[in-house]
Amino acid sequence: MVGAPTGIMDQSASLLSRHDSAVFLDCRSQESRVVPLGFDAAGLAIAVINTHVVHAHATGGYGERRESCEAGARALGVAALRDVGIDQLDRARGILDDVTFRRVRHVVTEDQRVLDTVHLLETEGPAAIGGLLDASHRSLRDDFEVSVPELDLAVETAQANGAVGARMTGGGFGGSAIALIADELVPDLTRAVRSAFAERGYREPSVFTVHPSQGARRDA
């Protein structure tokens, strides 16, 4: 309807979410299951750092990234990049041009990070997933190339001010970063981010916390 080549993730999260939980969604089968996060018990919150950099997914880079992924899948002879494993990336490097390979590498490694995140949440708890959040941002920045300097600064500042992990979120080219951080550190993070943005001459960001909650439902 809006002209953006997006999928079902946002809509599914809005409908299927549960308190203090993540939704593990298979976009091919449309199967899902709830994965407890344990943020409440660990005293953790998700701090959202809105850079106020405007982005639009219906035009420009977002569609190009999807086209690259689809081209990579065709070249590798698979229906979608979810059918490519980490162990197949060396083969992909020999087949694809550099840009397409990096796009493919991001998706393949990000798929694995999702699986690893679910495993760590279920076996070790939320404090263990920080490294995966950090790695996700590096991959989005370097391989998928959808970050912007403001998002990178938000992530780096969060990492330097006590965040368990941080990454940009959404389709990229602007928008927000998220940081998993102890509740009591949010005020310090807010001051640090605002100061860092002011030093660079960026527009002042908005920082607020969110907590995973019940999805859309009928109240009466």
**Token reading at 28:** 């091919």
**Token reading at 92:** 């992909």
Q: What is the pLDDT of residues 26-69, one digit of tens each?
A: 999 999 999 999 999 999 999 999 999 987 655 568 789 999 99
Active-site positions?
10
Mean pLDDT over the full length of the chain:
94
Residue 218 lies in a domain: no
Tell me if 126 sits within 8 A of 38, measured CB to CB.
yes
pLDDT at 171: 85
* DSSP category for residue 205: P
Rounded to an integer, what distance in angstroms lies between the CA atom of residue 20 and that of residue 23?
10
Handedness of CA 199, 203, 209, 214 (dihedral sign): negative
Rounded to an integer, what distance in angstroms lies between the CA atom of residue 135 and that of residue 25?
21
Residue 3 lies in a domain: no
Geometric angle at alpha carbon 122, from 50 and 37, rounded to 5°: 30
Residue 215 lies in a domain: no
Residue 81 lies in a domain: yes
User: 50 by DSSP, 3-state: which?
Assistant: strand
What is the tally of structural domains in the chain?
A: 1
Query: How far does CA 103 lie from the centroid of its chain?
Result: 15
Rounded to an integer, what distance in angstroms lies between the CA atom of residue 168 and that of residue 175?
8
Residue 164 lies in a domain: yes
What is the pLDDT averaged over residues 107-128? 98
Print the domain residue range for 109: 9-210
Residue 1 lies in a domain: no
Query: How far does CA 85 lie from the centroid of its chain?
Result: 20
Q: Is the pLDDT of residue 143 over 70?
A: yes
